[in-house]
Amino acid sequence: MPYSNIFLMAESATGRVSIHVVFFAGARERCGVNSASVSLSTRTDMGSILTDLYKIYPDLAELHNGLIVAHNHEYCTPGQPFTLAQGDEIAIIPPISGG
């Protein structure tokens, strides 16, 4: 059995996948990293992702009211369900101001 098939079987058995999270601007500053690999549930939504990330990066919660989440370069709306796959990218974008 090819290695990738074994991994996919393990992925479906646990209901979790490893994804790439990218932090921008103030989110990056609060987390102390540019990006990270994180294991998350395959069936999720924006709120669940943020809740899981707050457990890992508690200071990120300071930005909660203005955070924007993107899944594979598509903005998410609060409550929007979606399915994560191995290697997906989640971007955490803080409120942006300018003039």
Q: pTM, whole model, 2 decimals?
A: 0.80
Task: Quick: pLDDT tens for 9-47.
Answer: 444 556 899 999 999 999 999 999 999 999 999 998 889
Domain span at residue 62 reads 16-93
Domain membership of residue 2 (yes or no) is no
Contact residues for 93 (Cβ-Cβ < 8 A; gap 6+): 24, 25, 27, 67, 68, 69, 70
Domain membership of residue 52 (yes or no) is yes
Domain membership of residue 69 (yes or no) is yes
Domain membership of residue 99 (yes or no) is no
DSSP output for 39-96: EEESEEEHHHHHHHHHHH-GGGGGGGGG-EEEETTEE--TT-EEE--TT-EEEEE---
Name the domain count of the chain: 1
Looking at residue 14, what is its pLDDT? 63
Check which CATH number belongs to the domain holding 36 and give it. Answer: 3.10.20.30
Domain membership of residue 42 (yes or no) is yes
